[in-house]
Structure 1
Amino acid sequence: MNPDADGRDGTRHSDARPDIAELERQHRELQLPSADLADTWRLGSLIVAVALERGLAVTVDIRRGEQQVFHVALPGTSADNDDWISRKAAVVRRFGEASYLVGERHRVKGRAFDLDPARYAAHGGSFPLLVRGTGMVGTVTVSGLPQVEDHRLVTECLGRYLAQTGH
């Protein structure tokens, strides 16, 4: 079973899942002052450094619009992770919100996410690349861990990046 598929494989779950209010707070707060190529390189490099430090097998992808501006596959990942990234990022592009938030909204209402699963995956790990005063300019996505952990890695690193840049 791919852990991205449902995020319930029993490994590394230390905290409760974030609720919708927490996910919406992250959307409001995790906005960058800018997202040029240098910014996306620094953000992607930070995520990779944290993943390497923790020994995580993840693929990290950042896109500005439709342009892929950062992509690193760490040992233990496969082309399957690239597929998950594409499908999770498609959810963010379509709805303008984190893939995990979109999925949670469906789950709490007891509804299935009914967009084509070959193109869309409302599972955690993709977050809108938000620029303060501009809005969504792209996506930042991680694949390889259970969905809650993919989401947490992205949001933790966005928070760290903002702290490092003084914002």
Structure 2
Amino acid sequence: MTSSGDWPTLDELARQEAEVVLPELTEQVAWDLGRAATDAAWAEQLPVVVGIWRGTHQLFHAALPGSTADNDEWLRRKGRVVTRFEHSSLYMGQVCRDAGTTLQGKFLLPESEYAAHGGAVPLRVASAGVVGWMGVSGLPQRDDHAFVIRILREHLAAARH
């Protein structure tokens, strides 16, 4: 999915987030996104968990073969970062990498509750801002992030047709 080279810049990550603004986040949209992510992960034999939240309400969850309960915990920790900062968990990880620190060091957030590792992306609705988040855990963090962005882009492209 991604190369082992350079990390994406904050500008690149912000552009990605701006490209995946949804017209709405209903239960049907969450189901469609979750199914698309699960179908793609299944076809690619990815050992991931997929989750979608609107506020504190989890609208979708799936655990694929090879994933573990630890992936669920990583997903929740990444999601807390999105909820707090309204940016992807990879974006906030890059903020910290650029500053030469950690989320705990910069914002005094416990690592047991927050993970600034890629895989959780804010779900922005055009008329309302960030209303939730979608995440994947089980791959290297840049691949988790790229997978979620890909699914959101594909969903929006299909909705336009």
The interval holding the TM-score normalised by the smaller chain is: over 0.9
Equivalents in 2 of 1:132, 1:31: separation in Å? 6
> 1:13 offset after TM fit, Å?
4.7
Of 107-116 and 73-82, more deviation after overlay is shown by 107-116
**1:162 correspondence with 2:156:** yes
Q: Kindly report structure 1 stretches of 4+ aligned residues shifted beyond 6 Å.
A: none
User: What letter corresponds to residue 86 of structure 2 in structure 1?
Assistant: G
Query: Residue in 1 aligned with 2:67?
Result: 77
**5+ residue gaps, structure 2:** none
1:21 aligns with 2:39: no
Which residues of structure 1 form unaligned runs of 5+? 1-11
Among 47, 62, 78, which residue is 1:88 paired with? Answer: 78
Residue 25 of structure 2 is aligned to residue 35 of structure 1: yes
Task: Give, in whole Å, the separation in 2 of the partners of 1:23 and 1:86.
Answer: 21
Q: CA deviation at 1:18?
A: 2.1
- TM-score scaled to structure 1, two decimals? 0.90
Matched, 1:136 2:113: no
Count residues with an aligned counterpart. 156
> Which amino acid is 2:121 matched to?
F
The Cα offsets for residues 90-140 of structure 1, whole Å up to 9 and x where unpaired, read as 000000110000010110121222110110000000001111121111110
Letter in 2 for 1:147: Q
**Percent of paired sites with the same residue:** 43
